[in-house]
Structure 1
Amino acid sequence: MKLKRVYFSPNADLLSSVSDTAFLGNVAVRTNLFPLLKEVNTNAQISSKVSAKNIISVQLKRRLSGYHVYEGEDVNISSIIVLPDRNILIADFGDDGGILLFSESGNFITKMTQFGKPYGTALIDDYRIALSFPKNRNIKILKLGSRISLIKTFQLDVDLNAISYYGTHIIVCSRPQSVLFVDLNGVIAKSLDLELPYASITFIHCHSNRMLISEYMSDAIHCYDFDGNKLWNRHFVTGQDTRNVCADKYGNVFCVGMNTGTLVCLSIDGQNMQTLNTARHNLVEPKSIYYDESSERLLIVGQQMQFVAMFDLVY
C-alpha cells in the first residue's frame, strides 16, 4: 500500500468567528496564543473559569514542628512551597542555611545543604523544581522524588532574587528592577526593565497572566502584565516594609509584612484591601507566604523560623 501524507491547516472563516476566549460550560478555551508560548502555535490551551470569592477570615490549622534553631545559627527564611508529594520545602538563605523538608502533617524530615543556600523556589511540574541561588548568581533545577537530586544548573551571572514559574519559563527577579524570562535550557528569552520606585525588586509571583511584584523595604505592591505594562499598584499606610505575596485560585492577593507583622488580602484588581487580624497574633516577622491550591490553605513562615504555620481560608 502506498502511504500518502495528509496535512491539516486552520480554516480562516472558522477562526474569524471565534472570539479570544470561548466558554464551554465551565471550561474556557483560549483561541489566541499565550504571550510566553509564541513558538508553540499548535497547542490548544485551556483554563478553568473560577468565580470570585471574598475572604472572610483565616484560621490557624497547625504549626510545623521538629526543627530547632540553635543559638548563633544564622537563619534567613526566604520562601516556602508545597511539593507534589505533599511534603513542604522551605528555603533558608542564611549563612547556615539550606533546604528544610517537612511532612504534610508538619513534622520536620531533614535538612539538605549539598545544593547551597537557596532564595527563591518555583515548581516546574510534578518532577522538577527550580531554586535560585543569589550568592552564586545561578538557578538550579532539582529532580523531585524520594531522593532529591540535581538535574542542571543555569549560570545566569545576574543579580537575582525570587523566582516564579509560568507557562514554559522561569520568571526571575533581577536587581535593580528587571524581570527575566528564562527557558528550561537556561536561555534568557526575554527581559523587562520596570520602573520601580525603590529600584530594589525582591519578590515575584505569577498568577492569571500577570506578575505580582514587591521590593525590599517599600510601601507598595505592583501588578504588571507579561509585556511590562503596569496594571495597578497598591500603597500601604503602614509605610515601608519587606512584603511577600501570593494569590489564591480566585484571584485574591495575600501579602505579609515582615516588620509590621501583618497579613492583608487584596482584591484581584488591587483596589480593595482588608487586614486579616485573626492571624496577627500568630505572626512573628512573617517573611514567606505560599498558597496551596490543593488544600486551599496559606503557609506562612517567620524570617528566623520563629513560626511555621498553615492557615485555613474562610470564604
Structure 2
Amino acid sequence: MQAQIISAPKSFKLCDRIDITNGYVTGLTTDSNDNLVITSRDRLLSYSENGKFINECKLGGDAWGVSFHSMSGNVVVALQENEPISDVVHCIIYDGNQTFTFNSSALEMPNGIATDRSGNVYVVGRDSNNIHRLSTNGKKSEVVLGPADGIKDPCAICFSRDYRKLFLSNEDGASVYVYECRY
C-alpha cells in the first residue's frame, strides 16, 4: 500500500530570514502564540512570528533540544555534557526561571524533546539508546522505549498533530521509526 498525501504545499516561497547574532541554532519550536523559540548554544531566544526579537535568556549550558509544553506554557530544554551541568533536562519559563530539572543515570546525552497532549515530556537519550517519559512536573519518569525496541543512536522525536503517532529519528538519523500510540 502506498502512502497517500491528502494535502501538501506545492511549493515554498521564502518570506523572511531571522539572523541570529553569534548564533548556532540547535532547536526550534513554536509556542501557543506562534512565537518562534530557538535554542542557540547557551541561549534561549524568542521571536514573534514576523521575526521581531522578544526575549533572550541565558541557559546553564548548550541546549540541544527544545519543545513547547502546552499544558504549562513553559519551554522544555535539554542541556547535555556541559560542566558542571551534565545530561540534564530543564523545564523553564521564558524569563529563564526553572520549573523543574530532571536527570537520571539511565539518561545519557539528552537530545530531542517532545510533549504529548497530557503535558508529559519525552526525552531522547542519544547515548543511552532510550526514550524517557517525564510527568508534567518532572517528578516521575519511566523509560518507554529502549534497545529491545530497536532504539539505537536516536536523535529527534515528535508526535503527530493528533498524537496518534510518535516519530523518532533512529540509527544516527538514517531512519525514522513510526510508532502507533496506544491509549
State the one-letter code of the partner of 2:94: F
Deviations 1:207-258 (A, max 9, x none): 2201100023342211012232110011111354142110011111111111
1:193 aligns with 2:58: yes
How far off its partner does 1:158 sit?
Answer: 2.9
TM-score (structure 1 length as normaliser): 0.50
State the one-letter code of the partner of 1:213: V
C-alpha RMSD over aligned residues? 2.5
TM-score (structure 2 length as normaliser): 0.83
- Determine which of 259, 263, 269 is the counterpart of 2:127: 259
**Pairs within 5 Å for 1:89-238:** 105=3, 145-159=9-23, 160-166=25-31, 167-176=33-42, 178-194=43-59, 196=60, 199-208=61-70, 209-217=73-81, 218-238=86-106
The answer to whether the Cα contact below 8 Å between 2:63 and 2:78 also exists between their aligned partners in 1 is yes
State the one-letter code of the partner of 1:271: K
State the one-letter code of the partner of 1:158: N
The answer to whether the Cα contact below 8 Å between 1:173 and 1:180 also exists between their aligned partners in 2 is yes
- Distance of 1:277 and 1:193 partners within structure 2: 32
Deviations 1:56-109 (A, max 9, x none): xxxxxxxxxxxxxxxxxxxxxxxxxxxxxxxxxxxxxxxxxxxxxxx9x399xx
- Distance of 2:55 and 2:169 partners within structure 1: 32
How far off its partner does 1:259 sit?
Answer: 1.3
Q: Give unpaired runs (5+ residues) of structure 2.
A: none
Distance 1:260 1:278, change over 3 A: closer
Deviations 1:36-65 (A, max 9, x none): xxxxxxxxxxxxxxxxxxxxxxxxxxxxxx
The answer to whether the Cα contact below 8 Å between 1:179 and 1:191 also exists between their aligned partners in 2 is yes
Across the two proteins, how many residue pairs are aligned to each other?
A: 173
State the one-letter code of the partner of 1:244: G
How far off its partner does 1:170 sit?
Answer: 0.5
Q: Which has the larger radius of gyration?
A: 1
Distance 1:191 1:251, change over 3 A: same
- Distance of 2:30 and 2:11 partners within structure 1: 22
How far off its partner does 1:279 sit?
Answer: 7.0
- Distance of 1:259 and 1:278 partners within structure 2: 11
- Distance of 1:183 and 1:219 partners within structure 2: 30
State the one-letter code of the partner of 2:170: G
- Distance of 1:294 and 1:174 partners within structure 2: 29
- Distance of 2:107 and 2:146 partners within structure 1: 21
The answer to whether the Cα contact below 8 Å between 1:264 and 1:273 also exists between their aligned partners in 2 is yes
State the one-letter code of the partner of 1:257: G
Deviations 1:277-314 (A, max 9, x none): 47743212110100113252110012533331111223
The answer to whether the Cα contact below 8 Å between 1:265 and 1:274 also exists between their aligned partners in 2 is yes
